Chains A and B, each alone.
Chain A
Amino acid sequence: MRHLHLIGLAAAAALALGACDTTYDFDSATVGEDDGTSATARSKTSSQFVRGLFADVLGRAPERYDFAVTFNGQPAFNLPIDEETFLVNTLDGMGDPGPLRALIVAGIVGSDQVVLPSKASVSDPEAFIRDQFRRLLGREPNVYELSAFVGQWTSDSAVGPKAIVRAIAGSREYQSK
């Protein structure tokens, strides 16, 4: 930071002395910001995200059902659940839904609903990773992505099938339209 300020001060001093004939015409409030000409990502709505996640990870659409609660075998009450409505409403309870989307993915991927192989049973991690990219993003991983994912799979015990699915589903690419 100190280095940065020194450079900036030197430049400012040079400008003040008229030693530099290059001028910069900018709005001090917006300089350096996106000018709107580059491609940008736009979020899926919460509903699009939930429906897409269910289709991609669970292979089904969100459903409505009665959640049956019992106490020591005795019926207590039934709670009607509409999975999509509930999760969308929950996501609307945060400004940036990203952290909550990540938790919903973690909950689903960590549940018994999703059958993923254990890390030890995956003999070809590269093929597994390619499959997940195709399934969730509809494309092959590029060489850098594949290298990074395989490298992490090899070096980090926390990276296995669940982490791969969570990472892809948590990416900006998956979260955007």
Chain B
Amino acid sequence: MAINRRNLLRGGLAAAGLAAAGTGLSPLVRVRKAWGGGALATRRVVLVGIGGGLRLRESLGMAEGATMPNLFGTTPLISGFGSGPAGAPRIAPEYAAMARGLVLPAVRGTPLHTEGTLVTNLRYADGPPGHLQGHGCLLSGAYNMIENRADARLTTPTIFEIHRKGANAPSTDAWYLSNPGGFYRALLTSGHPLYGPRFAPTYLQPPGVMSPLVPIVTSGTRSLDVGTQALPTVPRDAAADAAVARLSAVIDANTPGWDRDDLFPHAAPDEAAQIQGHVGGFFADATYQTYFPDSFGIGMRADDGGLDSTADALTVFHAERVLDQFQPALLAMTLLDVDTCHQDFNGYLRAQQIADAAVAHLWAFIQAHPSLRDETTLIVMPEHGRHLFFNGQNPDSLGRSGIDHGQGDDGDRNTWMLMLGPDIRRNQVIAPTGITQTGRSSGRYETIDAVMTGMTLLGHGDRLTGDLTTASKRPGLVVQEVLS
């Protein structure tokens, strides 16, 4: 093997690593030492961001009934809103008469928060409480002012970039699933010069991709009798797919590589083949049931008595499929159905029920999966809250109307975080105060701390801290109280 600059560097780094082992500790060891030397069990982090803004009042406060009983039970977990056991969500009668019924599984016997730690006073302390800024914070650990454009870029690296670079991980080891498309694509990679598209996660927007219309349109079929005709599919032939990949590679060998600032990230060929196989499996299904089977049991009642998806339910269902197939170290997802609250307060309450059931389903799925259950930490939190006041849109008979977000009042900024997993303390509801850090005025744990804690569990805490500090951003703190 020839000695070139790259080999030399690798060797040099290996040597440097050996030297460091004698005098210092690797970041992961430092993390473990910090919590009494116990070994961390977490190998995977799943981050669920409830996008669109969810207030304390309706979620933990249960002021409109118990909208998230699987996560939080039916008794308010914070004071000042609902009192005593909360009943069912208060849906306005005229709305209930018109709306399609929800399909929800039986509520858990004990709420999910008893299996982990719930921080009830998290603060989204800085930056606009807007969609891309809020989720940009969840996916980077940095407050930011990113513009709402698909070609906008965070100035600090995303958690996907940090993981892929830090762990030398393939794109299939870091996934981002999003209910919305559009400008949320901006959150895959940053504009940081040491990161970028070559460290992008695999991004999938299930509501945009996972549709039987794909095989229908590609088939050219313009009419279909669903009672008598076979449903179109995209043919699947593993031998043909492998042959096609080999032949494409022959041409690619004569073609320049992708520009590092190309319009799209590009997975390595073997990773792309795995992703194609995964997605193609759905398009090859002639029953159309695998896109979103009735057995998922969460969604809206279809006219024929079956199950129709909601975008959030579809996103969580496909997150489970990705977890099953790829078992990535990092999977983040963005839910967004609660954002209907801008115009539809009752829809907001119902979307909380769906998100609640879907997250509980996700955790049950993880716990039932032999490769995931003992190694996966789940973090759930809203990207931010919503205003303290109604906006007057579509008032209902109970005196409620839409609620926006973005002005930054306490309704916008007071939020919560639920963490579950092998390294997380169980059955703990806390609201720590007196948290100090230069530049921190909240005195509380903040959204950036949830991200830092998750990344620390993955062994990337030092890298995230270093990158943020270098960029003059305030890094989050590890929420020590949640760790067992």
Q: Measuring CB to CB, which residues of chain A are less than 8 angstroms from any residue of chain B?
A: 3-5, 7-13, 15, 24, 26, 28-34, 36, 38-43, 45, 58, 65-73, 76, 81, 83, 86-87, 89-90, 92-100, 102-104, 106-108, 110-113, 137, 142, 144-145, 148-149, 152, 156-159, 162-164, 166-168, 170-174, 176
Contact = CB atoms under 8 A, between A and B. Distances in A.
B432 interface: no
A131 to B, nearest CB: 15
Given A7-B11, A95-B185, A31 B6 contact: yes
A51 to B, nearest CB: 14
A90 B248 contact: no
Contacts of B246: 152, 167
Given A40-B256, A96-B171, A102-B276, A111 B219 contact: yes
A86 B217 contact: yes
B202 interface: yes
B9 A28 contact: yes
Interface in B1-38: 1, 3, 5-15
A43 B6 CA distance: 28
Q: Name the 5 nearest CB pairs between A and B, nearest first.
A: A8-B11, A107-B218, A93-B208, A95-B203, A167-B247
A90 B209 contact: yes
Contacts of B171: 96
Interface string B246-285: 1110111011111110111111000011011001100100
Interface string B173-205: 000100001100100100000100000111111
B252 A172 contact: yes
Interface residues of B, number: 84
Given A92-B208, A95-B203, A103 B279 contact: yes
Contacts of A163: 240, 243-244, 247
Contacts of A76: 226
Given A96-B171, A99-B275, A158-B243, A42 B259 contact: yes
Contact of B209 (A100, A108, A137, A164): A100
Given A7-B3, A163-B243, A171-B251, A94 B203 contact: yes
Contacts of B182: 92
Given A94-B205, A145-B251, A170-B248, 10 more contacts: A40-B262, A86-B213, A90-B209, A93-B205, A94-B202, A95-B204, A99-B267, A107-B215, A107-B234, A170-B244
A14 B156 CA distance: 37
Contacts of B273: 99
A149 B248 CA distance: 10
A100 B277 CA distance: 10
B217 A83 contact: yes
A20 B31 CA distance: 39
B214 interface: yes
Contacts of B239: 156-158
A68 B224 contact: yes
A23 to B, nearest CB: 11
Residue from A5, A95, A103, A167 with most neighbouring chain B CB atoms (10 Å):
A95
A64 to B, nearest CB: 11
Interface in B265-324: 265-267, 272-273, 275-276, 279-280, 283
Contacts of B194: 29-30
A96 B10 contact: no
A9 B272 contact: no
A66 B477 CA distance: 55
Residue from B176, B185, B275 with most neighbouring chain A CB atoms (10 Å):
B275
Contact of A95 (B7, B15, B264): B264
A95 B234 contact: no
Nearest to A95: B203
Contact of B8 (A8, A58, A108, A172): A8
B242 interface: yes
A12 B15 contact: yes
A68 B225 CA distance: 8
A149 B217 CA distance: 30
A148 to B, nearest CB: 4
A26 B259 CA distance: 22
B441 interface: no
B204 to A, nearest CB: 6
Contact of A9 (B14, B206, B216, B222): B14
B276 A103 contact: yes
B222 A12 contact: no
A58 B218 CA distance: 11
Contacts of B12: 8, 11-12, 15
A24 B4 CA distance: 10
A30 B234 CA distance: 41
17 contacts: A7-B3, A11-B12, A24-B8, A32-B6, A45-B263, A72-B228, A81-B217, A92-B181, A96-B265, A103-B276, A111-B219, A111-B232, A144-B250, A158-B240, A163-B243, A172-B258, A174-B251
Contacts of A71: 225-227
B260 A33 contact: yes
B237 interface: yes
B80 interface: no
